[in-house]
Structure 1
Amino acid sequence: MRKFFVLAGFFLVIICQVFGQENQFESKKSFDDLVIKADRLKAESKYDSALVIFNFLKNRAELENDTLNIIRSNLGIGAVLFLLKETDVARDYYRKLILMAKSINDSSYINKGFYGIGGTYQIDGNLDSAFYYYENTLPYFIGKNQYKDAGLILANLASIYYSRGELDLSIETSLKSSEFAKMADSPQLEGSNLRMLGMIHRVKKEYDESQKYYFNAYRIADANNFLKDKGDALYGLIKLNRDQEDYDKVIRYYENYISVLEDIYLKGENDQILDLKEKYKTASLKLENERQKNFAFQQRKYKTITLIVSITLVVAAFIIIYVIDQRRKNIKALAEKNEEINRQQIDELLQKQEIASLQGVLEGQETERRRVAIDLHDRLGGILSMVKLHFSVVTESLSKDDQAHAKFMKASDLLDQATGEVRSISHNLLSGVLMKFGLVPALEDLKDKISQTGKLKVTLYSNELNNVLSAEQELQLYRIVQELISNILKHSQAKEANIQLTKGDESVNLIVEDDGIGFDLKAVNKKTGIGLSNLKARVAKLNGNFHIDSGRGAGTTISIDIPIHHD
């Protein structure tokens, strides 16, 4: 019901009748005297009486077209509504006074309005907004030596710091506010700071300090008859002694606290006599106003219901559309996933067929290599040996001085070279060292030949294989190493390569690594070349598996495991 007292200022004649001769006397007083009285009533928690006086002053200022005093009245009304926690209404009054203060370029009241708005946000729990307004107005009041306003802002900032748990900063700010309160001769503000300091030290369990501040706050409130502040100080002492488990003092302070509340109630009743008169005189106007408000409320209610139903239907339609769209997307995603799985299965099948085809080609190549190598070695090699024998007979029959003798000797040397080339080609095709001595000596021979070129330094490490591999397996491993060394020479720009051949319990492991430029595995997998396909086919033929580890600038390591078949 307190909101209705805001309307009382608009009925100046009725207020004058209620207050009678006392109000007639007060109307003759100066504006400043009435503001002081209203502030006094506000400090004594007589908010309704203070509100009536401020509204009276506002209407008088409006009749006199006194902009400054209208601003001062709005500030007082906003302050009372702030204490009554009518924050929305209080903000409206503060905003009105800011607009009017801007019209007369009064920075002081502009900043007071902003400070008031900050206070309403603090009451509402919007501490960030409150902090923003306080921080922006504080420098102005300090610069203008308006100590009371500066002290009030600092007190509120201290409260925000306390809420955030920044207790030391809250103490520091409260002490600064207390200094400004003394400079402004504002005992109520000083008492408020003392209560804040008492509360902070109680929370920090600094009980002696807390009690000192609460006692000083109580003394100030009692000397100035600030009943609410007096009650707040006593309540702080109750909490303090309860924390210390001194229940005798708790009971004593609680009795004093009840006594103060009774005084507030009794003095409030005297104020209520005036309030009841005011309510009686304005009842008919309020009733009509309530009827109009009720009609407007019903209209708004009907529009609100219509709007809610419309929004509900629209939201429901959007939900249905969204569900349908999501279902369609899920079906599409499932179809794409199935298509991807089918494509992968087809790719795997094609890869298996390709490996099988390559295995057949490789087997054919090995058979052809063996046949050509044998033909070169046995047939062509034999023929060349017979030709060499005949050349020797002819050469011996000729005199060394004969010109034909020199030509036959030259032909004999060329024939020796041809025989050596045939033997070399035959060995390369059939890997003669491999056939005679096995895989490890063949790799040693390959290592030496490559290293002798000076293009690549090759090292070999191996342990005894003990004939765990068949001749076919050794041949395939040898071809794999040849392929890998060839790739290193062609593509890697490596300086060194390392071959490791070791036997485990269940498999033979081959590792070939280099210090070259490496390559992008993803790019290579997308466009598989013949060399990599051959490698896969050879490893698959041996029922083995392999792994490639490489990256740009990081060299390449290829590891191959071939299972051992135990008889």
Structure 2
Amino acid sequence: MSLFSQTENLQKQTKSLTQKATELMRNENYEKSLILSRQALSQAIALKNNELIATSYNTIAANFDQLAEYEKALFYYKKALIYADKTNNNHLKNWINNNLGNIYCFDKKEYSKGIYYYKKSLEYSTKIADSSEILFTKLNISWAYFDIGKYNKVLPYLEYINKYHKKHGDESTIVAINMLNGMYHSYANNSQKAYFYFEKAIESGKKGREKSDLSFAHQEYSKFLFKMKKFKKAYENLNAYNELTAKLNDEEKLRKINVAGINLEIDEYKREIDNIKTEYKTNHQILLERQSKNKLISIIIITALLLFIVFSYMYFQNKQLKQTNKLKDIESKIQENIITASINGQEMERKKIASFLHDNISALLSSAAMHLTIFSTKNQNNSEEITKTKAILIQTHYKVRDLSHSLLPTLLARFGLFYALNDLCEMNSNSTIHFHYSSDVSDATRYNEDYEMKMYFIISELLNNITNHSKANKAKLHLKEINKELHILVKDNGVGFEINQFQTIEGFGLNQIKARINTMKGKFNIISRPNQGTTIEIIAPIDYES
């Protein structure tokens, strides 16, 4: 087979992988979709085909978008756009720019950036004369302008949408278009038309499957009714909005983690360790007292039993040395257990805080923003202070959500250790350093949840050390499973160090990692020399998923 034929076959295979990945994503099978997308990306990079690379990155980003991992989605969408801009494929450019606009407007609430990408998308859809894409992009721009209160800029887009919707739109946009018309006529003080379109939005929303659109329609209708002083009907729609929103939140709520019992066990474990330490200190004190008495007796009979005293002295000295060494070993094990219990407690607190932020603080911020919006609408108060307060509440809500994800990575919980580590290497790679990830274990392999979290944070700390201290430009992470043990190799080409240095590192550093691996009955080994890089080998018994 010729080189040209091989390349052509590989291109067809890569396109097929991307199409399968897209279909899996639409069926909400995100794990398999991401696996196929990454396979397609590797082949596209090998082919040096910018269009296929851009398409693969876009599919990866779309999966993270569906999983509400918006920072990751943004990262991969931007990568997709870099490669798409190197091609003549205006369809692809239109698609990616529109996705970026969605992220900035509806997830990050950075409307100026979102509108910029929407308008870029509109340029490309106009170039390819895709009337359907033009319609949907103008619909998105209209939403963005409504969200930031720039109603005067909406009319040209809304007129186009109303004119061509029947020809190019579909049933999924009926609720949105009716809401837009209702909101615009409310702004224009045309109450009759506003009533008409809001009622149509509610009616079409009840027939559709997308409950979030119906929820939003009730919310916007309630604002208009408050404005018109139709308070009873306004409260009915507001209650409908709250009920639908609660149902939607319940469907997406993550399983809460009951850490109270675990924390209690940790506290009991610490108390047990303290008791053991106290017991050994008491034994040591008793031994010293006995030894002192024996020395005193020896001095009294020294003239008669000099030889016996010498042998007795050597015997007790040897016994003391053994006891001291034994005590040091016990104290070392106690210290390791204290470190492990402390770090386990920190991890449990991570879960508890992440759950609390997601399920309580974030919900309260959203509720506060909604009530402030209703108050300003009811009192026709559009002061700058209230507008800024609403913006601050929304921004705080998204920062709390991002903090929750950073405390407990959702990718680790959803797809497992190996997929999360693969993504961690890719996210940490940049123009200064590249992390190469390889594993003999399938990304789909799952272990016990606590075991996965422990190994993830240990490896994450090792990668952070390389980034912050090694001055390396290349590093690799390799994992394999042998005889029910996980073998981990972390290696870099950085400045290295003297092995005895890591004993003095404070915090969750190498010394603490070693202590933790020891309590897991594992092995921890460091190979390093100045200017010759560092290699860290870890062998940890696997705690399999029940």
TM-score scaled to structure 1, two decimals? Answer: 0.39
TM-score, structure 2 normalization:
0.40
